[in-house]
Chain A
């Protein structure tokens, strides 16, 4: 298996633009997680899904952020409109069960100018 796949790896956009981050989890994993990492706040869980259903989205910063998982092999995290404070590395991870090892993707480095 290729592991968790994220795209794009780098994204530079201007304030106010829509940004869509994509993730393909490891096949057979039932859990998918979206994290954000910054120097100031460390690793923060934004949302996670179980069997494509969002379970906890309490970490989503505000309504500008939305996440979907239309099927078991694909998820998106969308920011609309983007702001400079959204600049961070966004990681997607997947796991077989809720307290199993999480496998992280390489991350998407987002810069909002």
Chain B
């Protein structure tokens, strides 16, 4: 099964770019990589999803190298409101039944 690993926590200052990396060594060929944001007492919320290379939307970019064994979520110019826990989610279809595996989560704290 794909196993996902993330840094436990990160600190940043307002206005800086933040990059959070997720390692997923056993990701299968057809699996997507999805990132979620979670605030206290709320459910996770979708940020971005990709399969390979680079994906960008209005809030973030996702970089996926050619071997797809990792991915990097990039948050440009973070603000205090970006303080949250960020999770990567990898799908794994190698066992025949598609499985969903969340990373351990990265707690981002944005400082003024």
Contacts and interface: CB of A to CB of B under 8 A. Distances in A.
A interface: dominant SS: strand
B98 A55 contact: yes
B100 interface: yes
Q: Chain B contact residues (Cβ within 8 angstroms of A): what range?
A: 20 to 34
Interface of B: 31-32, 34, 36, 41-46, 49, 87, 89, 91, 97-102, 104-105
A40 to B, nearest CB: 11
B interface: dominant SS: strand
Interface in A61-99: 91, 93, 98-99
Given A104-B43, A105-B43, A99 B32 contact: yes
Interface residues of A, number: 22
Contacts of B45: 104
